Amino acid sequence: MPQRSPRAVPDPANDEAFKRELIGLIPHLRAFARTLAGDPASADDLAQDAMMKAWDARASFEMGTNMKAWTFMILRNQFYSEKRRAWRQTQLDQEAAERTLIAVDDPEAPVALDELRLGLGMLPAEQREALILVGAGGFAYEEAAAICGCAVGTVKSRVSRARKALQAILEDGAYQRDGGSAGDAMSAILADAERLSTGE
């Protein structure tokens, strides 16, 4: 009797293990959603939708494989399919969408972080995504490639281009800052990073 799914029959013990692991991933899903969606509230909506999609699809997940990468892939697909739908509905122009991708509305945010967010916002979406997955999410190139549905070499070159572009943006102060002077973001970041690494 061939079985296509290992869990065609509901398995409470497996569901419980799945749920526990999924709950542990919620903070990471929220963080990833925050880098995609325009504001924290819609980011949480996105993270919740992704969490429920993952729960509904739990029968197709193989326990023991990388659930973090699997849920990130679900979240990313969810984001882009919603975005496509939104485009159809409102004819939103791409430029406006890009501008709202990274929310900068926290006045308490440290200056260097703020400028890093602005700099990230200026990168092409696919470069920003690759850099965030590898540089902040802790994914290997292979995992990031699986999440984005592209070749490993593509991820590598996107990350490398993103790094160079971001550094140039931060050094030139090319990001837009309302009224304020562009300042020396790169030296603020260097000082901050040094403080973080020695303070720990």
Partner 1 sequence: MIEQSVQRRRGEAALDEARLRQQAIGVKLRQMFDEVVSEPVPDEFIEILRRADRRSGDG
Give residues in contact with partner 1 (CB under 8 A).
10, 12, 15, 19, 22-23, 26-28, 30-31, 34-35, 44, 47-48, 51-52, 55-56, 112-113, 116-117, 131-132, 135-138, 163, 166-167, 170-171, 186, 189-190, 192-194, 196-197
Distance CA 69, CA 77 (A): 12
Residue 51 vs 148, nearer CB to partner 1: 51
Residue 92 vs 193, nearer CB to partner 1: 193
Minimal distance in Å, beta carbon 179 to partner 1? 23
**Cβ-contact 192, 110 below 8 angstroms:** yes
**Cβ-contact 141, 134 below 8 angstroms:** yes
Distance CA 152, CA 158 (A): 10
Burial (CB < 10 A; 0-12, 13-18, 19+), residue 75, is buried
Minimal distance in Å, beta carbon 91 to partner 1? 31
Minimal distance in Å, beta carbon 62 to partner 1? 19
Residue 44 vs 98, nearer CB to partner 1: 44
Minimal distance in Å, beta carbon 174 to partner 1? 15
Residue 26 vs 152, nearer CB to partner 1: 26
Residue 145 vs 166, nearer CB to partner 1: 166
Distance CA 181, CA 75 (A): 36
The position carrying tokens 């070749």 is: 151
Minimal distance in Å, beta carbon 157 to partner 1? 16
**Cβ-contact 159, 135 below 8 angstroms:** yes
The position carrying tokens 């909506």 is: 45
Distance CA 37, CA 43 (A): 5
